[in-house]
Every structure is written in C-alpha cells, then in structure tokens.
Amino acid sequence: MKHLIRKEFLEEGYVFATRAADIARAAGHTRPARLASNENPYPPSSKAIKAAADVLPTANRYPDETNREFIAALKKRHGDYQFVASVGMDGIIDTILRTLISDGDRVAVATPTYSYYGLAVRAQGGVAISVPRKDDFSVDPAVFCREAAGTKLAFLCTPNNPTGSTETPKTIANICENYDGILFLDCAYIEFDGTDYRPLMKKYDNLIIGRTMSKAYSLAGLRVGYAFVPEWYEPFYHRAATPFTLNVVSQAAATAALRDTVHVKTIVSVVQEWRQRFIDECPYPVVPGGANFVMIDVAPHTAEDVVTELAQKGVVVRSCASFPGLPNHYIRVSIGEPWENEAFITAIGEIYQP
C-alpha cells in the first residue's frame, strides 16, 4: 500500500537522536546527564502547575478557540501586538506554510539551522533553498536577500539552533527592507539572549516573530508556541489553522507561566551563568552564542567520536553532523541541571587532547 503515500514522506524523515542515550545505557549509566535536546531541566512554574490542575476538570468542554486569556497575557507581557498561538512553534510554522506555500514554491532557509523548516516545507509540497551563513555562522543580509529573492517565505533563526549565533536588530531590519517575501524570525531561545526584535514589528509588515513556551518557560511537554504577526496577515493565519489547537491545560498553564516573570528570570540567569562556565572551562573552542546550549568545535576529532566517548562517560550530547551545511566536528551541548553540567565539564576535560 506504500504507493499511496506522498513521495515527500517515502524517505526517512526526522530521526530522534537516541543513539548516544543507548550508548550511555549500554555502558551502565542508568541516569545519564541528558544534554542533547535543548530542554529546560527545571520544572515549570508552580503557578503553571496549579493552573493546569485547576482547569483539568473542565476538559469535557472544547477549549476557548481564540486562546483569549493567553493572548491577553501576551499583550500584557509584550505590548499591543498581534499574536497567534499553536501547538509549539512547530505548529505555527506548519500553519504559516499552509497559508503561503503551494506545490513547487521555494522557501529560503539560512543554513545550517533547525531541521524542521526543511521537513515542513517539503511536507507542504514546497522546495527549501539553503542560504549559507558566514564562517562565523551569522547571516550577511546582502547575501541573504540576493539568494532569497523570489521566494515567498524565508526562515532565519536567532539564537540559531544548533550554532547559537545571534543576529542584530539592524541585520533583521535590513532583510525586512530588502526582501519581498515574509521573514519568519525564529526566536525559540531568545529569552536566554535578550535581544529585542519586537519594535521591528511596528515598522515592517513582512516580519513574523516566532516564540515558544518550550524553552525558558519549561513547558516543552505542553506544546505551546506563539508568534507576533502583522495585522494584515492574522485573518489568513486563522483560515488555515486547525480548530482548537491549544487544549485547556496548555492554555491555562501557559498563561500562568507567562505571568510568573520571577520564575523565568531566575532560570534565564542560572542558564546564562552556566553558559559562561561552559565557555570558560571547555578546553575546545565554543562558538559564541545566546541560547541555552552551546556548540563546540571538537576538531581534529569527529563529532561522532566525541559524542560516543561522552556517552560512555554518562553524558548524552548531540552530534551536529546531521545538520546540513556543518562539517563533522561540532557537538551541541544543552545547559542542564548543575550535576549534569559538572559531569559534562569533567568528561570533556578527560577527553581533550591538545
């Protein structure tokens, strides 16, 4: 029956990085340091947990389709912008692609970067075009606009996954001015960096800024993403969206989490302190970045060798070899709980050979 499946899905798609975890387990580490998935190691705000529990008895009813309370909390937090929300930023990306991309349409992607853009574009029948980043992994706006010319949509991630590299608001403004399509600025990790791109929304009607509650807000398991969208675009987004995307628990928890500014600030400052320690204490060069993970250049070793050795020592990290456009000597290490971070610093020190 496989002939019934669309050709886009016949090739293997997203493969979860479980290999390193398997190696750690085989080496006898029942509780390895889990630093491969850019998750927040800390639990959600206690206010979010309570809000989720309180609302669960109402789950016999469909949720509020307009996400009214969550959107109101977003406006209170960020100001009077237009927002949409969905099941993770991935859900938002899917919906945006549905509004813009038909068979054969080209979409630009600043590469190397988050793999889901390419998969989602293909699933929509579009064609992803890679726009290479510079050697330091930042984006040259002139090159970006030249290569992306004629595409309807472009993806740019800052801080970028997996490199961690960040863009200035000036670069983003330059792209918005010189690119005819819609720029999707993926800010999944922005809380850990702090650059403020929001004012650009007031100036450009071709900018969408994607955000998530999965990282700084510790709600990855509830799948809540949101985006700042231009006013003209919002009605089209809703026409393409799945009804009732955010469930009652997600809406209530995300609203409470957003209001608990102390919780998120505490987590961000702990992560930033550890990021600095990784930079200071890792014997290999760390790519400058603004996320809750760092990318490390382990040359002359291969990423696979170092990932395997770390796993054998009970530390699970991610090889960047699967990110198109990156040579095979980078690893990505998330900032985890203190004991996990200490385990990484010790293990990488043991592996290092000058």
Quick one: 77 or 203, whose CB is closer to ligand PMP? 77
What phi and psi, each to the nearest 5 degrees, are found at residue 273? -65, -45
Give me the least distance between CB of 254 and ligand PMP, in Å please: 11
Count residues contacting ligand PMP (CB under 6 A)? 13
- 152/145 Cα distance (integer angstroms): 12
Give me the least distance between CB of 23 and ligand PMP, in Å please: 22
Quick one: 220 or 321, whose CB is closer to ligand PMP? 220
Sequential DSSP letters for 288-319:
---SSEEEEE-TTS-HHHHHHHHHHTTEE-EE
Give me the least distance between CB of 186 and ligand PMP, in Å please: 5
Does residue 188 touch ligand PMP according to CB under 6 A? yes
Draw the binding track, 273-292, toward ligand PMP (x: CB under 6 A; -: no contact).
--------------------
Q: What is the DSSP letter of 167?
A: -
Q: Which of 331, 346, 270 is nearest to 296 (CA)?
A: 331
Find the binding residues for ligand PMP in span 109-128 (CB under 6 A): 114
Q: How many CB atoms lie within 10 A of CB 299?
A: 13
Quick one: 128 or 347, whose CB is closer to ligand PMP? 128
Residue 49 makes CB contacts below 8 A (sequence gap 6+) with 43, 253
Give me the least distance between CB of 86 and ligand PMP, in Å please: 9
Give me the least distance between CB of 116 and ligand PMP, in Å please: 7
Q: How many CB atoms lie within 10 A of CB 25?
A: 16
- 281/136 Cα distance (integer angstroms): 21
**What tokens appear for 65 in the block?**
């389709």
**What tokens appear for 112 in the block?**
């190397």
294 and 164 in contact (C-beta within 8 Å)? yes
Does residue 214 touch ligand PMP according to CB under 6 A? yes
Binding range to ligand PMP, per CB under 6 A, among 122-130, 132-140, 174-182, 212-220: 212-220
**What tokens appear for 82 in the block?**
């237009």
Binding range to ligand PMP, per CB under 6 A, among 50-58, 85-93, 227-235, 328-336: 85-93
Q: Which of 90, 191, 260, 340 is the binder for ligand PMP (CB under 6 A)?
A: 90
Find the binding residues for ligand PMP in span 17-76 (CB under 6 A): 38
- 142/123 Cα distance (integer angstroms): 29
Does residue 157 touch ligand PMP according to CB under 6 A? yes
Give me the least distance between CB of 162 and ligand PMP, in Å please: 8
Binding range to ligand PMP, per CB under 6 A, among 68-76, 83-91, 194-202, 273-281: 83-91
Which segments of the chain are extended strands (E)?
33-34, 82-86, 106-111, 127-132, 153-157, 182-186, 207-212, 225-229, 293-297, 315-316, 318-319, 330-334
Quick one: 87 or 282, whose CB is closer to ligand PMP? 87
Q: Which of 94, 167, 186, 191 is the binder for ligand PMP (CB under 6 A)?
A: 186
Site of interaction with ligand PMP (CB under 6 A)? 38, 88-90, 114, 157, 161, 186, 188, 212, 214, 220, 225
